[in-house]
Structure 1
Amino acid sequence: MKAVVYKGYGEVCLEDRPVPAILEDTDAIVRVTRSSICSSDLHIKHGSVPRAKENTVLGHEFVGEIVEVGKGVVHFQVGDRVAVNVETFCGQCFFCKRGYVNNCIHGGWELGCRIDGGQAEYARIPMADQGLTKIPEGVSDEDALFNGDILATGYWAASIGEIKPADTVVVLGAGPTGLCTLMSIKLYSPATVIVVDVSNERMALAKEQGLVDICLNPTEVNVEEEILKLTQGRGADRVFEVAGADSTFQLAWKVARPNAIVVLVALYGKEQALPLHQMYGKNLTFKTGGVDANSCDDIMKMVQCKKIDTSCLITHRAPLNDVMEGYRIFENKLDDCIKWVITPYEGEK
C-alpha cells in the first residue's frame, strides 16, 4: 500500500509499505477512506515532537471502514464505519479511569507519532474498543473526519475553560484547531467571543459561521488595548491560546483579566517562559494541553444533530497520490488552505 512516512528531520515522503496486520487481540484494521494533514504532522516533520519515531507512517486524524478485528474486540465489527481517536488508551489505568486518556500508561498520542498512522490506505488501530467511534447513518466520512483530533481538542479545551454565559472569551488563532475551539465554545453561549489572527480571511470565515462577535488583527490594531476597551479595562474572562507562537503565548496572559482562566491549547515548537514577576497579582489559572480525547461519542452526537458543522474547514481535497503537494500547500498556507483532506489512493497514474 501507499503511505506517507516521516523519514527524519525535515523529510516526509510517499512510499510503499506492507498492509498492516493484526498484532494484538484488541487491534482492528481500518481501510482509510478520508484522512487529513494536521499542523502536528508539521511539528513532527520539523523535529518539535521529540517522542516521534523516524520511519513511522504519519496521520492521526482519519476515518474509514473496519476490514478486520482481533478476537478481543467487543464493540466493533467488520463493516463498521468509524472515526479514529488521536489518543490510544486502555480505559483501565489510573489516568484513563479519571478521564486523562492523554496520559494513559499504555498509550497516549501514538498513531502517526510512534506507531503507523492513517495517511495510508490501511491502518492498524490498537485498543480498538477505546480508540474508535462509530459513525452513525446520516453522517458522512467528511462530517466525522475531525471528530478524533482537532474537534476533540477544541471540545476538550472549551470544557476545561469553565465558560460562563456572561463571559468575554478570547481565542488566539483562527486556524483549523482555533475554529474547532470556537465551534465548541459556542455550545456554552458566552456573552462575547473575540478572535485574534493575522489572517482576515480566516477571521471572516469564523464571523460568517456565527462563531465570533469581534475580529482583531494584531497587524492592524493593538490587540491588548482593544480588548481592555471592550471589557471596561478588566481583560477577558477566558483566553484560549491556539496559535502556538511566542507572541501569542505572551499575549494570552496579558489580555486575561485578574483571576481569569488561560487555556493553552497549542503545541509549541520551543520552550516558553512565564514572566511571573510581571504577572504577579493577576492570580491567573493556566490549563495546558495536550488533549484528553475522552468525549468522542458526545462529539459525534453534536455532529449528527448539526450543533457542530466542520464542513467549512475543508478547502482542499485530493487523492493520496497528491499528498506531497498537499503538504507543500498546507505548510506554506497557500491558496487559502485551511484543511487538506486526503481521499483514497487512485493507483498509478
Structure 2
Amino acid sequence: MNSYRYSLDKSSTKFICPNCNKKTFVYYVDTVKGKYLSTDFGRCDREQNCNYHKAPPTGKRAYLIAFLSLKSITDKAYKLVDVNGVISIVPKSQILEQNANSCYISEWYLKTSTINYLSNESKYFNTDNVSFINEVKTIKPHDPIKPSFHSLQLQDKIIKEYDSQEYDDNLTTFLLSKFTFDEVQKATQNYYLTGANYFWNNATLFWQINHKEQIQACKIMLYNKLTGKRIKEPYNHINWLHNAIKEPDFNLNQCLFGLHLINEDYQKEIAIVESEKTAIIMSIFLPDFIWLATGSKSGFKIELLQPLKKRNCIAFPDKGEFNNWNTKATELNKQGFKIAVSDLLEKTNFNNGFDLADYYLID
C-alpha cells in the first residue's frame, strides 16, 4: 500500500474555503512534520456547489485523460483508446487514479507517448515510494491485429434511416444557415455526411472511407446548430459508431476523412486540415482542391498520410500548430512526400485553435 506524506486532515476541524468563503474547508497535513500546509492547500466539502480542491505541488504529477475504453492486456499494462481513437499501451504503474471514463496518467509516461495532454486538468499524487519502470519497453510486441471495417450495408442502412427522418443533424442545420441547399447537399453527399441519434440527439456521423472504398471507422460528434462549434462541455462529445452498435471487438484503425475522394481526380491538389467540419466547409468555398481531414492534431502523421505520397499536397494547420506540422512535413518530404504547409493562420491575430473554416466564415 502506498504511503502518502501529505493527506487531507482526518479530524472534524473545518476552515474557511478560499473559494466559496464557507466554513467547509479541510486542510492538507504534512504527516512527517505533523503540521498543516499553507491555507490554500485543501479541499472544500461542498463538492456540488464549490468543488475547490488544491493538492500540494509535490509528488508525481498526473494529467486527466478521457478514454473510450481501458482494458487490461497483461498483468502490467492496459490498452487505452482515448476520445480521438488513439490507441496506447500504458503501464499500470503509471495510471495513478481511474474513474469510469477517465484516468490520471503520470506526466513521466505522457511525455514519452502520443497522447495529447498539456491542456488537460492535472494534479499531484504524493506517492514517494512508487517505482517508475518503463514497462512499455519490456512488453513483447504481438502480431499486428487486422483492422476492422464497417460494412457498406450498415452505412447504406444508416443513410436511408437518416434520409427518412424529418430533421437534420445539428451540423447540417448550421451549414444550411451559411450555404445554399444545393451546395450543402453536394458537400454532404461527397463525404457521406449523415446524422443519427447515437449517444446524443442530432449528432453527426463522419465516415472514414479509405482509397479502396473500405469503411475504416465512423466518428460521432455533436455540434451546436447555431454556432457550428463542437460541444465540449461538460465533456467532449466524441464517440464511435462501433461503440454505438456495440461491437466490442472492433479494431479501430483510422484513415484520413475524405480519403475516398483522392481517386476521383488525379490532377487536383490535395488540401489537408484538422477538422472534418472544416474539410466539408472548404470543399464548398474552394472546390478546386480535394479536402481531407486528419481528425486531430496528432493525425498529421505518416500512418494516415501514406496514401498521399505521390500527390501534391498543401496542409493548413490550425492557428498555433504550424511549427509542429511544418516539422513533420519536412521529415515526410525527405521520404518522398510532396507536402507544403501554409502559415496563413499564423499571420492572423486570432487565438490558437482558430481554423481555416473560421477564417472563411468571418462576416
TM-score bracket, shorter-length normalisation: under 0.3
What TM-score, normalized to structure 1? Answer: 0.25
> Which structure exhibits the higher relative contact order, with contacts defined as CA atoms closer than 8 Å and separated by 6 or more residues?
1
Highest Rg: 1 or 2? 2
What TM-score, normalized to structure 2? Answer: 0.25
